[in-house]
Structure 1
Amino acid sequence: MYMEQEIGDSHEVEASVSARLDRLPPTRYFRGLVVRIAIGGWFEFYDMFMAAYISLGLIASGLYHATTKGLFDVDGFASFLGAFFAGMFVGTIALSGFSDRLGRRSVFTVAMLVYSTATFVAAFQTSPLAMDLWRFVAGVGIGVQLITVDTYISELTPHHARGRYAAFSILVILTSVPTVAIVSWALVPLTLFGLEGWRWVMIIGSVGAVLIWFVRRGLPESPRWLESRGRADEARRIVDAIEDRVVRETGRALASTAPDLAPDLAPDNAPGRRTWTQMWRGPYLRRTIMLSLFNFCQTFGVYGFGAWVPVLLYSKGITITHSLFYTMLIAVTTPLGAIGAMVCAERFQRKWQLVGCAIVVACAGVAFGLEHNPIAILVFGSMVTIANNWMIGIFHTYQAELYPTRIRARAVGFVFSWSRFSSIFVGFWVAALLKGYGVPAVFVLISSAMWVIVVAVGVFGPRTNGIRLEELSQ
């Protein structure tokens, strides 16, 4: 018996941390880690979707106009959106590499502090230019954070439940959308203690700066990242602690490790191993092109609709009060998309779920643009919202699993930056179409972008369900 235990221990020492993590069963411990990481994402999405729900308050206060006189008109509401997404573009494309260099945990902490503080300062601005400046800073922090959350969760969780855990994190995160919708519905029409209601909505969103000190305690660094940096001893110590927690929780011995796979486990000091140009070679070239197209187009549905719902409804002749109420009712359906993604994440290929969601957004979006009946507006608006957020629940997993650990954050940052780049302009295009051709024209634009996604992902997207990260890296 003693000799058998020695052999087992020897095998554990030799196994990579990746193989050891992938053999672990789903547990409350992993759900707890995912929830804590998702809290950082909760405030990101609160901040991102807040723009839609305070839009009428910003416009009513005279700080911004609903339409725009031209591209980059700072007095138009589109500039409020554009400045934020410009910051996210800088954060994703220029700074995402810090997560690969400095680690997931430290970047997760700093990014949350940056955007929470910037949001608090923005709440007290009185000019469009100053507001846009601080929204840009908040966008930089959120751009870095979004990439870090995706890579962090994909690397900490076992491969057989990776999609489900990522979708669960999105479910937690997306509860922020109905929250900010309800808070905005209650506060935007009011003035409290001399501050307009929309300012209070922003102040509430900055609370993450305080919570981060509680969230980060007990969060381990990604063992896969540590191993990719040659810090194997630290990685093994973290995995030892994780395994100990899992054994104590389940009361069962761990399964044997799967065979290690070479590509993601080769020494990272080998020539060119960490260069970002790898994403343009071999199997990664096709993935990079496909994901760049996907990300450029997905924002037309997610933000072209989500950030403009109250304004679109108001443009249909619906009063401000009713627009906010309808928007709140539509927003309440947001978590249903994440629930669908969580239930189906491992049951159906993720690529086909993305294709299905894009088709629903394309069709229901056009119907929403043509309808004037309140019930139909709520039904089609909810369908678009559910499909958009189902897409979010899947694609954050999908793009993070298509690149190896050594370049994951940088590569995902690059492809995701295309969504931030298009978001800068989507607001201006929506405003121009709304002014010149009305609400239906906005949804023709959104629908066209969705059909590009259907072709790009359907034709070029690889299958990923149940496959180890190391195998996908081959």
Structure 2
Amino acid sequence: MYVEKEIVAAGVSARLDRLPPTRFFRGLVARIAIGGWFEFYEMFMAAYIALGLIRSGMYRATTVGLFDVNGFASFLGSFFAGMFVGTVALGGFTDRFGRRAVFTFAMLIYSVATFVAAFQTSPQTMDLWRFIAGIGIGVQLITVDTYISELTPHHTRGRYMAFSILVILTSVPVVAVLSYALVPHAFLGLDGWRWVMIIGSAGAVLIWFMRRGLPESPRWLESKGRLGEALTIVDAIERRVIAETGRALEPPRTGTADAAGEGQGSFAEMWKGRYLRRTVMLSLFNFFQTFGVYGFGAWVPVLLYTKGLTITHSLLYTMVIAFTTPLGALGAMAFAERIERKWQLVGCAVMVAVAGVLFGLARDPLPILLFGGLVTIANNWLIGIFHTYQAELYPTRIRARAVGFVFSWSRVSSIFVGFWVAALLKHSGVPAVFALISSAMFVIVVMVGFFGPKTNGIRLEELSQ
């Protein structure tokens, strides 16, 4: 049993980092991840309702030029443009107002905008509301990452983050099944794709129930000088852990760095010292990772349709491939703390490049499903690891702002990837799309392999010293 003076001397981070893994932490992470569940539902929904939007005449599969609002690429681009604004312009809100408050507010913006978008009849107004929904999601994604990384102990941080991605990615097969069942039909006078969007907007209702009992990040409170509030939360967490395990806690480490008195931090800080190299590396990583994740994920039905499959078969194959999505998160969860995270990112990029090219060349159902599944597993394993990785590399005082900035580069590339994919499909076919994706994966291998620091098992405060 630790004594009172050890508790006082240790600080918030040391007390959190010595806690064992428990059901309490899994439940806490799962509740935060439910917020991200609706965000991923929205992001991947685009792929599964694409053929419905095209068949309804609202959008075309290809584009006649950059920023053609009548092409499906604009449906994707407007959303990612909103995410860019959310991550860059509003990412600092999370560092200023707290993880819990921004988590709730961002979810509300997304849900309302998605509900309104479901009733639009022109590409211009649809793109407008998709842009607004993207703003909410841009803020939400970086909030989820920072929130979980700060609440969980350092020795299980990667596993819990991967677990949150597993929870989040179950949204992909759900939206795939809903789209397969609804998109080809109309109900109550509304096209099926509209019902898929309406269902996705339900997050606003759930979030008000989920936020009850969610604590603010004690590390964030400590960094703002609100030590009393931070210690109250840590006390409550420790009581829950002791009650669950039935054992006394290990003494916290004293004399280690913590977040007390960090202050506000600044945007300029991420461009100084060790953070400069990390910022450049993560910015390039994020810019190119979307070529694989969304260049493939958001276009699967259209890519299959372009191969000559019917709408029904394209949606069926896409649904089957979607069921491999959680396998990537399970892999990330199983190996998050066993294999250095930077090397997992490199391995996933190589798999996306190789399996992607083979998918582009495949014509028969079995290889289409096999290589499509491998690309999906690798993409989502990468997602499960990089959300942990980038949140580890900055101090609490600028974590959300810095993660928002580097993550915003993925939103920049996502705006253009859709137009590039559409142009390649029109002029060169599916194999050319995967040549582009493979080239992007090579950049990731180089940047992370040579410039990415090791992070497994290292405390957040030590990583940022």
TM-score bin, normalised by smaller chain: over 0.9
Cα deviations by residue, 1:281-309 (Å, 9 ceiling, x for unpaired): 11111111110010000000000000000
C-alpha separation in 2, matches of 1:17 and 1:122: 43
Which of 246, 253, 267 is equivalent to 2:248?
253
Alignment of 1:162-177 (within 5 A): 162-177=157-172
Which residue does 1:122 correspond to in 2?
Answer: 117
1:216 and 2:207 are equivalent in the alignment? no
C-alpha separation in 1, matches of 2:318 and 2:397: 42
Which residue does 1:318 correspond to in 2?
Answer: 309
Offset of 1:107 from its aligned partner? 0.1
Which of 333, 358, 371 is equivalent to 1:342?
333
1:84 and 2:79 are equivalent in the alignment? yes
Q: Which runs of 5+ in 2 are unaligned?
A: none
Alignment of 1:426-437 (within 5 A): 426-437=417-428
C-alpha separation in 2, matches of 1:100 and 1:296: 23
1:389 and 2:380 are equivalent in the alignment? yes
CA contact 1:19–1:260 (8 Å) conserved in 2: no
Which of 300, 322, 347 is equivalent to 1:356?
347
C-alpha separation in 1, matches of 2:268 and 2:332: 32
C-alpha separation in 1, matches of 2:54 and 2:368: 23
Which residue does 2:178 correspond to in 1?
Answer: 183
Which of 89, 112, 115 is equivalent to 1:94?
89
Cα deviations by residue, 1:159-217 (Å, 9 ceiling, x for unpaired): 00000000000000000000000100000001000000000000000010000111100
> Which residue identity lines up with residue 247 of structure 1 in the other structure?
I
CA contact 1:403–1:473 (8 Å) conserved in 2: yes
Which of 169, 192, 198 is equivalent to 1:197?
192
TM-score (norm 2): 0.99
2:296 aligned counterpart, secondary structure: helix
> Which residue identity lines up with residue 426 of structure 1 in the other structure?
V
1:400 and 2:409 are equivalent in the alignment? no
TM-score (norm 1): 0.97
C-alpha separation in 2, matches of 1:163 and 1:471: 16
C-alpha separation in 2, matches of 1:363 and 1:443: 9
Change (3 A) 1:292 1:105: same
Which residue does 1:415 correspond to in 2?
Answer: 406
C-alpha separation in 1, matches of 2:358 and 2:322: 18
Cα deviations by residue, 1:338-395 (Å, 9 ceiling, x for unpaired): 0000000000000000000000000000111111011001100000000000000000
CA contact 2:219–2:259 (8 Å) conserved in 1: no
Q: Which runs of 5+ in 1 are unaligned?
A: none
C-alpha separation in 1, matches of 2:261 and 2:85: 30
C-alpha separation in 1, matches of 2:36 and 2:207: 11
1:441 and 2:438 are equivalent in the alignment? no
1:16 aligned counterpart, secondary structure: helix
1:67 aligned counterpart, secondary structure: coil
Which residue does 1:303 correspond to in 2?
Answer: 294
C-alpha separation in 2, matches of 1:293 and 1:190: 42
1:227 and 2:222 are equivalent in the alignment? yes
1:294 and 2:288 are equivalent in the alignment? no
Which of 256, 274, 279 is equivalent to 2:270?
279
Offset of 1:268 from its aligned partner? 2.6
Q: Which is worse superposed, 382-391 or 252-261?
A: 252-261
C-alpha separation in 2, matches of 1:242 and 1:260: 22
Change (3 A) 1:351 1:329: same
Which residue does 1:53 correspond to in 2?
Answer: 48
CA contact 1:34–1:169 (8 Å) conserved in 2: yes
1:371 and 2:362 are equivalent in the alignment? yes
Number of paired residues? Answer: 465
CA contact 2:6–2:254 (8 Å) conserved in 1: no
Which residue does 1:333 correspond to in 2?
Answer: 324
C-alpha separation in 2, matches of 1:230 and 1:450: 42
Cα deviations by residue, 1:13-54 (Å, 9 ceiling, x for unpaired): 222101000010001110010000000000000000000000
1:239 and 2:234 are equivalent in the alignment? yes
CA contact 1:63–1:127 (8 Å) conserved in 2: yes
2:3 aligned counterpart, secondary structure: helix
Give the superposed CA RMSD.
Answer: 0.9
Which of 19, 24, 40 is equivalent to 2:19?
24
1:268 and 2:259 are equivalent in the alignment? no
Which of 441, 447, 465 is equivalent to 2:456?
465
Offset of 1:266 from its aligned partner? 5.3
2:67 aligned counterpart, secondary structure: coil
Which of 154, 163, 170 is equivalent to 1:159?
154
Percent identity reads: 78
> Which residue identity lines up with residue 325 of structure 2 in the other structure?
T
C-alpha separation in 2, matches of 1:188 and 1:459: 45
Cα deviations by residue, 1:237-271 (Å, 9 ceiling, x for unpaired): 00000001111111110101123433x535234xx
